[in-house]
Structure 1
Amino acid sequence: MEAAIREHPAVAECVVSAEATPGGQRRLVALVVPREDRPLDGRTVLTHLRARLPHYLIPGQIHVLERLPLTSNGKVDVAGALAGLAAQAPPGTRATTEGAGAHGELVERLRALWAELLELPAVDPDGDFFALGGNSLLALRLINRVHAEFGVDLHFGQVFEAPTVRALAGRLAEHDRAASCRVTLSGPAAGPGPAGGSRAAGRELFLFHPVGGSVSSYTALARSWPGPVHAFQSRALAEGSTAALDPDLVTMATSYREELERATAEGPYLLGGWSMGGVLAYEAGRQLAERGHEVRVFMIDSDLTEVRVSTTEAARHLEFLGDLAGGRLPAAVRPAVLGAPPDRLTRTALELSVTNGWLPAGTTAEQYDLLLRVHAHNLEALSGYRADKSEVPTLLLVAAGVDRADPVPAWRDMCSRLDVEVWPEDHYSIVAGDRPAAIADRVATWLEEPRVRH
């Protein structure tokens, strides 16, 4: 990245650093010093990098400075530079209005809002919310603030469909609330990336939501994949209503497959997903193969025999909270939920979610209830799924740290061309930290292996 920046004739020196974000992720920050008498701004550097690097290597922030500040031991003081920039002006006045374009006033209001939520000194109108450090919790906060300040109700999935200030401003200006299940998490890469095998480079990837219905868990994987990445979110989250829930998993996968084919009529297709998302990928891939398409599928700790159907309302809340907590439910949560009176159950669970940081402050009871209902419905759909046999080449990554029956035999009974790998992770850590990048690398390598016929 630094080498690519230095290729610009107006750049004298630069440094790129990965800085922590409010959501606990990392964002790339570039500090650039121009040559004497050579005008340079962040937009020029951004345009230069977009022509040379894949999207996931583009810094979320680019700052042009007169010089690089140094620490007492001679290292570049990135944190000090960012703190100085943040102190130069109050939020809402730090970002230049250049490039606001259509809906200029709306764009500026959204830039100020994003800068506040993401704790940034400035936000480019074309900067991606998730590349800048956003996550599902911050997306919910954004939805609540947009409702409060603009009077427009956004659905959760629309943040993924319009992930830049400019795109979201267009949605708000037109009051466009239509949402599709397929959202684009990343566009075409400009060059080889971490997963840059010859078959993976530029290959379009389709991911399917896990049991919660959101596709926010795939943003890191999308950044690591060297080609376009699309993901299918729950129709109920996309439309903001449980009335849009599909009756069963096969129907759900069929609707996603039909939307996929409308967008990309011909293969070869590469499908994948974590947990329930892998099962949806398997079913959609099986249907595509039946229709004569070439397909490859990878599943991340997907269990065909998983049964988690709750028989009481309190149990549904506990299942949902357990997934929000990454499988590590604090001891005090269970008795608090089980002891709550029926008319206080949702409010109690919501308060626990906010207190423990699983959902942001400001989440409404209606938003919580939608997430809960989608989660419970998808668990029932997954438990009721009965797979048909498939000859689609499939890679299954199994998390070793899960107390359960071995999920592999059931998959081998159904899938004749199954490759299995066991990873030293649990069901949640396998898609956390640096694991998504490792998954992207492994899938790219798997596509190259001679055992898989292309």
Structure 2
Amino acid sequence: MTGTPPDAGLLVQFATRPGPLSSLLIHPAGGGLGQYLAVAARLSRHGDVFGIRAAGLLPGEEPVADVEEMTRTYLGLIDILPERPGLLFGWSLGGVLAWELAARMAQDGPAPAVVMIDSFAGLPGATDEDYTDIIERSVSHLDTGMDAARVRTTARAHVRAATGHRTRSRAAGPVLLVTCAGPDRQRQTAAWQDLDDRLSVRELDCGHFEVFAPQHQERLITHLDSFLPSLIDVPRETPR
């Protein structure tokens, strides 16, 4: 464990408890973690759960518009966790960051598993105006009490980060990709399979921003539950 980095305030503690699997949840575009509450509760059955929110959401913070810079910062935060996470989870941009973090963690220790929810290895470059809907939908998913203007500015920076990044690193650990319905699903899956031919893929019959709605989140949790036994000895629940 190293000294406390200046960005330690980006770490969020969801649960600390003994268990075989510690998890780290990475923010999507917009930077908040509120949509992960049910996922965090599920993962907390198996060990510690922490999250990383984005810079830019509080006064005095500046958002980051570069995936590589965020990855370097978040690696420093992982160093101060009570234990090295065995699972990295992220939706959208959060999945890309989870993949990149896992690839770098594998260079000096065990490779963590990754769960990516409707993430893309590369997005076409475009102006902010072309992604206005994504930015505004990110604002609509902000955590209670967050300033909408800061979330909007942070989401805009994250869109620039996502469109300026192409994932080229290869996976070193188990990876689950959960895709949403849409015309890009086949291309999305193929791009990740080019980087990991062991990729596990599951599908949700909903749009990108409906993933955490109650009627779809239950299916997401089911996909997560089916992935966990490949990582640890997790007893499967009897279907109801």
What range describes the TM-score normalised by the shorter chain of this pair?
0.7 to 0.9
Q: 2:11 aligns with which of 158, 182, 202?
A: 182
Q: Is the 8 A contact 2:90 2:117 kept in 1?
A: yes
Q: 2:198 aligns with which of 394, 417, 421?
A: 417
Shift of 1:265: 4.8
Shift of 1:316: 6.1
1:308/1:375 CA distance change after superposition, 3 Å = farther
Alignment of 1:77-96 (within 5 A): none
Shift of 1:302: 0.9
Shift of 1:205: 1.0
**CA distance, structure 1, for counterparts of residue 215 and residue 132 of structure 2:** 30
Higher relative contact order, chain-length normalized (CA < 8 Å, sep 6+): 2
Residue 72 of structure 2 is aligned to residue 254 of structure 1: yes
**CA distance, structure 1, for counterparts of residue 21 and residue 59 of structure 2:** 31
Which residue number corresponds to residue 220 of structure 2?
A: 439
Moved more, 258-267 or 224-233: 258-267
Which residue number corresponds to residue 320 of structure 1?
A: 135
The letter for the 2-side match of 1:233 is R
Q: Is the 8 A contact 2:64 2:157 kept in 1?
A: no
Alignment of 1:144-223 (within 5 A): 180-188=9-17, 202-223=20-41
Q: Which consecutive residues of structure 1, in runs of 5 or more, have no partner in the other structure?
A: 1-177, 190-200, 327-357
Shift of 1:184: 1.0
Residue 42 of structure 2 is aligned to residue 224 of structure 1: yes
**CA distance, structure 2, for counterparts of residue 231 and residue 382 of structure 1:** 20
Q: Is the 8 A contact 1:220 1:437 kept in 2?
A: no
Q: Deviations over 1:382-418 (max 9, x none)?
A: 1111222223210101112x24352001101112431
Q: Which consecutive residues of structure 2, in runs of 5 or more, have no partner in the other structure?
A: 1-6, 232-240
Q: Is the 8 A contact 1:306 1:382 kept in 2?
A: yes
Alignment of 1:4-403 (within 5 A): 180-188=9-17, 202-225=20-43, 226=45, 227-237=47-57, 239-243=58-62, 245-266=63-84, 269-307=86-124, 309-312=126-129, 318-325=133-140, 367-387=147-167, 388-400=169-181, 402-403=182-183
Shift of 1:429: 2.2
The letter for the 2-side match of 1:392 is G
The letter for the 1-side match of 2:27 is H
Which residue number corresponds to residue 184 of structure 2?
A: 404
Which residue number corresponds to residue 74 of structure 1?
A: none
Q: Is the 8 A contact 2:66 2:161 kept in 1?
A: yes
Shift of 1:325: 5.0
The letter for the 2-side match of 1:304 is A
Q: Is the 8 A contact 1:248 1:381 kept in 2?
A: yes
**CA distance, structure 2, for counterparts of residue 255 and residue 266 of structure 1:** 16
Q: Deviations over 1:240-298 (max 9, x none)?
A: 3453x33510220221122112214545x111111111111101011101222231111
SS at match of 1:285: helix
**CA distance, structure 2, for counterparts of residue 420 and residue 265 of structure 1:** 28
Q: Deviations over 1:203-258 (max 9, x none)?
A: 21101000011111101211222132211000222x43453x33510220221122
**CA distance, structure 2, for counterparts of residue 290 and residue 298 of structure 1:** 19
Which residue number corresponds to residue 237 of structure 2?
A: none
Structure 1-normalised TM-score? Answer: 0.44
Structure 2-normalised TM-score? Answer: 0.79
The letter for the 2-side match of 1:439 is L
Q: Is the 8 A contact 1:241 1:370 kept in 2?
A: no
Q: Deviations over 1:119-164 (max 9, x none)?
A: xxxxxxxxxxxxxxxxxxxxxxxxxxxxxxxxxxxxxxxxxxxxxx
1:273/1:266 CA distance change after superposition, 3 Å = closer
**CA distance, structure 2, for counterparts of residue 323 and residue 439 of structure 1:** 19
Q: Is the 8 A contact 2:16 2:48 kept in 1?
A: yes
> Alignment RMSD, CA only?
2.9
Q: Is the 8 A contact 1:307 1:382 kept in 2?
A: no
